[in-house]
Amino acid sequence: MIEYSNPKGVRAPGGVYSHTVKVPANAEWLVLAGQIGVNPKGEVQVGIRKQAEQVFRNIVACLREHKMRKNHLVKLTVYLTDPRYIEAYRAARNKVLGDDVRPASTLLIIDGLASPDFKIEIEAAAAKA
């Protein structure tokens, strides 16, 4: 079983994530490439909120392809191009993943992504025991 925790000696998370995720030795791992706000037709979604929702839908689709669910996520690395996008990212994450999915998470503000049209990219890792 995958174990999510927030140790008592560490400040409580500032968002919907866990400080640690312990994956058992027998787990099946899935590593996802960075997902961007582009739908299956190749259309870049307009605005940070729509891009973020599309990113999370892409992640869920990748998980389903391998018979995994969103609760199998163990790590997210989020890249945003503007700190003003944090609230929209959090709202999109909650809408698609809900607040009971709490993988370890890192959020970075960066100068840019592969295209100036992209506002967010998320890498993910999942494990299924």
pTM of the model: 0.94
* Three-class secondary structure of residue 63 per DSSP: helix
State which H helix or E strand residue 97 sits in.
Answer: helix 86-97
Q: Which structural domain, as residue segments, surrounds residue 68? A: 3-128
Q: What tens digit of pLDDT does each residue of 2-23 get?
A: 999 999 999 999 999 999 999 9
Measured CA to CA, the distance from residue 73 to residue 105 in angstroms comes to 10
Q: What's the number of domains the chain is made of?
A: 1
Q: What tens digit of pLDDT does each residue of 38-88 get?
A: 999 999 999 999 999 999 999 999 999 999 999 999 999 999 999 999 999
pLDDT at residue number 78: 98
What CATH number should be reported for the domain holding residue 51? Answer: 3.30.1330.40
Which segments of the chain are extended strands (E)?
3-5, 20-22, 28-36, 73-80, 104-109, 120-128
